[in-house]
A and B are shown apart, each in its own frame.
Chain A
Amino acid sequence: MKTLSPLNSSNPCLLKTHFLKVPIFNPIFKFKPLPHNTHHARIAKVPSFTMNSKLKSSQDINNTGKKSVSQKIVLSETSPPPLAVDKDGINGGSGSESVPVSSKKKGGVSGLAKKLSKKVLQILSNLSLAIGEMFTIAALMALGTVIEQGEAPDFYFKNYPEDHPVLGFFTWRWVLTLGFDHMFTSPVFIGMLALLGASLMACTYTTQIPLVKVSRRWAFLHSAEAIRKQEFSDTLTRASIEDVGTLLMGAGYEVFLKGPCLYAFQGLAGRLAPIGVHISLLLIMVGGTLSAAGSFKGSVTVPQGLNFVVGDVLGPTGFLSTPTEAFNTEIHVNRFYMDYFESGEVSQFHTDLSLLDMDGKEVMRKTISVNDPLRYGGITIYQTDWSISALQILKDNEGPYNLAMAPLQINGDKKLFGTFLPVGDINSPDVKGISMLARDLQSIVLYDKEGKFAGVRRPNSKLPINIDGSEIVILDAIGSSGLDLKTDPGVPTVYAGFGALMLTTCISYLSHSQIWAIQDGTSVIIGGKTNRAKMEFPEEMNRLLDKVPEIVESSSSQQVDTITSG
Chain B
Amino acid sequence: MATLSSAQWRSYSTNSFPPSSSNGRQNNHRLLSLSSPVLRKSPPAVFCLQQSQGNSRPNVVLMEDGAVVTPVNPAQKKEAAIQKLEDGLLSSSSISTEELKEAAGFDVNENESSVSITVVGASGDLAKKKIFPALFALYYEGCLPKHFTVFGYARSKMTDAELRNMVSKTLTCRIDQRENCGEKMDQFLKRCFYHSGQYDSQEHFEALDKKLKEHEGGRESNRLFYLSIPPNIFIDAVKCASSSASAASGWTRVIVEKPFGRDSESSAALTKALKQYLTEDQIFRIDHYLGKELVENLSVLRFSNLIFEPLWSRQYIRNVQLIFSEDFGTEGRGGYFDNYGIIRDIMQNHLLQILALFAMETPVSLDAEDIRNEKSHTRGGVTHPGYTDDKTVPKDSVTPTFAAAALFIDNARWDGVPFLMKAGKALHNRSAEIRVQFRHVPGNLYNRNIGTDLDQATNELVIRVQPDEAIYLKINNKVPGLGMRLDRSNLNLLYSTRYSKEIPDAYERLLLDAIEGERRLFIRSDELDAAWSLFTPVLKELEEKRTIPEYYPYGSRGPVGAHYLAARYKVRWGDLGMEE
Q: A and B, one complex?
A: no
A contact set with B: CB distance below 8 Å: none
B residues contacting A by CB (< 8 A) are none
